[in-house]
């Protein structure tokens, strides 16, 4: 895979762009000046993944937001989940990710990715483009926008496997590393 030509943004310029548009509570990442970049936002349903992704979308030039849930949005804009198609939804998300990265665009992926094996495909795609992803564990406690039953959300929370390089983010003006060190 041919490495994409970096944009002309410097790290300082990118930091200014990101901090100018983000609420103070969002984690400021040390994004490389080489684009494209990849953010992977993971967490249980209702943790604020999609909202956090939208905030980053406003801050990263030409970024593309990929979610498996986008597969379930019909032409009328309605969310129509079908659990039998979840594998296809993730393949759709991964293909959109590849398409954007191949065009030199940054990508923000927001999926639950509860188990580490669920990150494997995303990390493999990042490696194929020679990109080090930034992984954020979103830990808000909101109502699931897709009405995932509370018992399933609780089960997912108990099954969560942390990635050693992820940054934890709780959307309440508190950001911290998963080892509880504040950033």
Placement of tokens 């994409």 in the chain = 4
Q: Given strand 38-42, what is the order of strands in its sheet?
A: 64-66, 107-110, 38-42, 134-138, 167-170, 174-177
Classified as helix, coil or strand, 140 is: coil
Give the helix ranges, DSSP H, for 22-119: 49-57, 86-102
Domain boundaries, the chain: 9-63+130-183, 67-105
Contact 143, 153 (CB under 8 A): no
Decide if pLDDT at 116 tops 50.
yes
Average pLDDT over residues 8-20: 33
Per-residue pLDDT of 118-138, as tens digits, reads 999 999 999 999 999 999 999
Placement of tokens 């990101």 in the chain = 18
Query: pTM value?
Result: 0.77
Lowest mean pLDDT among 3-7, 38-42, 108-112, 122-126: 3-7
Contact 72, 82 (CB under 8 A): yes
CA-CA distance, 48 to 119, in Å (whole number)?
A: 18
Structure tokens given for 160: 């969560």
Decide if pLDDT at 66 tops 90.
yes
């Amino acid at each position: 895979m041919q490495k994409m030509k970096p944009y002309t943004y410097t790290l300082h310029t990118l930091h200014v762009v990101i901090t100018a548009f983000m609420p103070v509570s969002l984690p400021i990442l040390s994004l490389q000046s080489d684009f494209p970049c990849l953010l992977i936002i993971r967490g249980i349903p209702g943790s604020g993944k999609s909202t956090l992704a939208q905030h980053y979308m406003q801050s990263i030039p030409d970024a593309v937001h990929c979610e498996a849930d986008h597969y379930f949005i019909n032409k009328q804009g309605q969310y129509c989940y079908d659990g039998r198609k979840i594998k296809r939804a993730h393949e759709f998300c991964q293909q959109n990710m590849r398409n954007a990265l191949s065009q030199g665009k940054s990508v923000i992926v927001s999926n639950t990715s509860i188990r580490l094996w669920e990150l494997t495909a995303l990390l493999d795609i990042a490696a194929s483009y020679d990109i080090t992803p930034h992984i954020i564990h979103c830990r808000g406690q909101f109502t699931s926008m897709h009405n995932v039953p509370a018992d399933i959300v609780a089960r997912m929370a108990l099954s969560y496997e942390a990635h050693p390089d992820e940054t934890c983010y709780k959307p309440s003006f508190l950001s911290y590393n998963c080892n509880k060190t504040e950033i």
